[in-house]
């Protein structure tokens, strides 16, 4: 992996972890800074979300400051210049989900373009 690829993957990881931070999630403005305007998510619930509708989840306290999401096995791959695919395992108070997201570099920085959660056994 080149230094540029390592930087891109780390930028996506940093953004992903910020989106899991309860303080960031509580602020719609901070969340929207990290989501691409064309953002789409297929959630672990089976529901489809966009950049506006996901704010009802993020600002609704789905991640408690007292028991943050536990993340493991996070890895990233540069798919093309300015596009990073992340995968990881998340445990939110016993709710275990495999997560996958696509991040892309925009004029305003790295933003999540797509996210999917799949419940894990």
What proportion of the chain, given as a percentage, has pLDDT over 90? Answer: 71
Output the average pLDDT for the chain. Answer: 91
97 CB-near residues (< 8 Å, 6+ apart): 44, 89, 90, 91, 117, 118, 119, 120
Q: Could you state, in order of their start, the residue ranges of all structural domains in the chain?
A: 3-119
Q: Residue 66 — pLDDT band, cuts 50, 70, 90?
A: low
Helix (H, G, I), strand (E, B) or coil at 56: helix
What CATH number does the domain located at 3-119 have?
A: 3.10.450.50
> Mean per-residue pLDDT for 28-48?
94
Which one has a higher pLDDT value, 121 or 10?
A: 10
Interatomic CA distance for residues 103 and 18, integer angstroms: 13
Residue 42: predicted pLDDT: 96
Burial class (CB in 10 A: 0-12, 13-18, 19+), 17: middle
Which one has a higher pLDDT value, 100 or 65?
A: 100
């Amino acid at each position: 992996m080149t230094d540029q690829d390592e930087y891109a993957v780390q930028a996506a990881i940093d953004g992903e972890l910020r989106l899991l931070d309860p303080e960031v999630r509580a602020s719609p403005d901070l969340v929207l800074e990290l989501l691409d305007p064309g953002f789409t998510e297929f959630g672990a619930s089976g529901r489809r979300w966009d950049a506006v509708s996901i704010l009802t989840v993020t600002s609704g306290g789905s991640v408690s400051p007292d028991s943050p999401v536990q993340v493991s096995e996070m890895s990233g791959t540069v798919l093309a210049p300015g596009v990073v695919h992340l995968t990881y395992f998340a445990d939110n108070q016993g709710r275990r989900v495999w997560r996958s997201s696509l991040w892309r570099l925009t004029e305003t920085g790295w933003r999540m373009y797509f996210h999917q959660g799949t419940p894990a056994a």
